[in-house]
Amino acid sequence: MIIAIDGPAASGKGTVAKKLAEHLGVPYLDTGLLYRAVARDVEAKSGQLEDAAAAVVAAQSIDAQTLGDPGLRGPLAGDKASIVAKIPAVRAALLDYQRNFARSGARGAVLDGRDIGTVVCPDAHIKIFVTASDEARAHRRYLEHQGRGEAIPYETVLEDLRRRDARDSGRTIAPLEAAADALHLDTTNLDAEQTFAAVLALIAAKVAK
């Protein structure tokens, strides 16, 4: 069973996707890391995030071993990722990687991102679009930064999130949007455990249909 989980930044999709994959015993891919890695590599090579040719080379040579790089975390890496993510040839170059991953698990896989249900795995058995209010998402990310000892003001975090969401939703190719057949989950008033329980309930209801 392929499960596609999409949603805006800090909606909690990665947390629930990872937990779900562990629960089901299937592989999990955080596809945002691919775009973050492309931004890191293109910047190291050409210094220009908008250098489409260099970005495509970086996308074609993604090294899974480097996706755990702590330098890929954080708001700056996310912002840079959203710049290379607007380049159509980069998205095309990452498609095979993501689709091969989705097919790699004998019993399925869980992928999270922005376009998994719409573009990467349009035939996914389950699609979930996770949202939360801007303020709830910013608060979560603010706490996350604090936990890492990074003192970023809440207002800055909120502005960063909104700017990135606008870029992701407004791009012409594979924008952040729910697939027509996605199940929607608003996690504004749910903690991570409640979100996981809600996702399991959505899946059970869909499978029972």
Ligand X SMILES: Nc1ccn([C@@H]2O[C@H](COP(=O)(O)O)[C@@H](O)[C@H]2O)c(=O)n1
Question: What residue ranges bind ligand X (CB under 6 A)?
Answer: 9, 31-32, 35-36, 78, 81-82, 85, 113-116, 164, 168
User: According to CB under 6 A, which one of 87, 185, 187, 199 is a site residue for ligand ATP?
Assistant: 187
Determine if 191 is a binding residue for ligand ATP (CB under 6 A).
yes
**Token duo for residue 196:** 């996981």
Output the CA–CA distances (angstroms, integers) from residue 144 to 12, 57, 135, 157, in the order listed: 12, 32, 14, 11
Q: Are 142 and 157 in contact (CB under 8 A)?
A: yes
Q: Are 4 and 111 in contact (CB under 8 A)?
A: yes
**Continuous segment of H or E residues that includes residue 4:** strand 2-6
CB-nearer residue toward ligand ATP: 52 or 73: 73
Residue 12 interacting entry, from ligand X, ligand ATP, none, C-beta within 5 to 8 Å by type: ligand ATP
Report d(CA 2, CA 26) in Å as an integer.
9
Q: x/- site string to ligand ATP, residues 66 to 95, per CB under 6 A?
A: ------------x-----------------
Candidates 100-108, 136-144, 151-159, 178-186: pick the segment binding ligand ATP (CB under 6 A).
136-144
For residue 18, the minimal CB distance to ligand ATP (Å) is 8
The 3-state secondary structure of 116-178, one letter per residue: HHHHHCCCCCEEEEEECCHHHHHHHHHHHHHHCCCCCCHHHHHHHHHHHHHHHHHCCCCCCCC
SS3 2: strand
Residue 177 interacting entry, from ligand X, ligand ATP, none, C-beta within 5 to 8 Å by type: none
CB-nearer residue toward ligand X: 83 or 183: 83
Determine if 117 is a binding residue for ligand ATP (CB under 6 A).
no
Residue 15 interacting entry, from ligand X, ligand ATP, none, C-beta within 5 to 8 Å by type: ligand ATP
| Residues of the shown chain interacting with ligand ATP in the complex, contacts defined by CB under 6 A | 7, 9-15, 32, 78, 140-141, 144, 187, 190-192, 195
